[in-house]
Amino acid sequence: MAQQPCVDLARTEEILAAYPPEEPSLIQVLQDVHRAYNYLPCDVLMRVAEALDVPLAKVFSVSTFYKAFSLEPQGDTIVKVCTGTACHIRGAGQLVEELQRQLGIGPDQTTEDLKFTVKTVNCVGACAMAPVMIVGDKYWGNAKPVKMPRYLAEGGDEDEN
């Protein structure tokens, strides 16, 4: 793992305080940590292991098992391409290729300037509008490769689709 920046543990303490200090809290705590830091920093995992009295190895096993967690810093904007079956047969693969062309990164990679992370997800349950792309919190239905620059532009036009 690359050298990670030092993180502020105060937020971790706040998160830990909201849950009973036991193993069943582990996934919920990690989810909150991930949301707060945009990834799971090493120092935080050690603190979580200690606070919940779970072996660090187990914390790592959970952190790497679930797809929602990343041990590397993520980009400011997460670009998710749905690759569910309906999206697959309606051309999700072409969206992933277009992202590769435009951002120079493939799935699970982050641009060097930490602006974008590209992910593929297994069905977001919006199959009727396949193929679907989610940029930040914004869903784009019937997404087309030619419209990629607009999807990636900040904000996006709310009324267009």
Enumerate binding residues for another protein (CB under 8 A).
Answer: 22-28, 30-31, 54, 58, 61-62, 65-69, 83-91, 94, 97-98, 101, 121-130, 132, 138-141, 145-146, 158-159, 161
Helix axes 42-52, 26-37, angle to 10 degrees: 150
Query: What is the Cα–Cα distance from 27 to 66, expressed in whole angstroms?
Result: 9
Q: How far is the CB of 6 from another protein (least distance, A)?
A: 26
Please, which residue, 12 or 25, has the CB nearer to another protein? 25
Q: Closest approach of Cβ 88 to another protein, in Å?
A: 5
* Nearest to another protein of 75, 130 (CB atom): 130
Strand 116-121's sheet: what is its strand order? 109-110, 116-121, 77-82, 133-135, 138-140
8 versus 67: smaller Cβ distance to another protein: 67
Smallest distance, another protein to C-beta of residue 69, A: 7
- Closer to another protein at the Cβ: 5 or 101? 101
86-111 residues labelled b (16+ CB within 10 A) or e (exposed)? bbeebbbebbbebbeeebebebebbb
Of 44 and 124, CB closest to another protein: 124
Cα separations in angstroms, 93 against 71, 82, 98, 131, 140:
26, 9, 9, 9, 15
Please report how close the Cβ of residue 42 comes to another protein at its closest, in angstroms: 19
Cα–Cα distance, 77 to 87 (Å, whole number): 21
Taking the complex as a whole, the smallest distance from the CB of residue 154 to another protein amounts, in Å, to 17
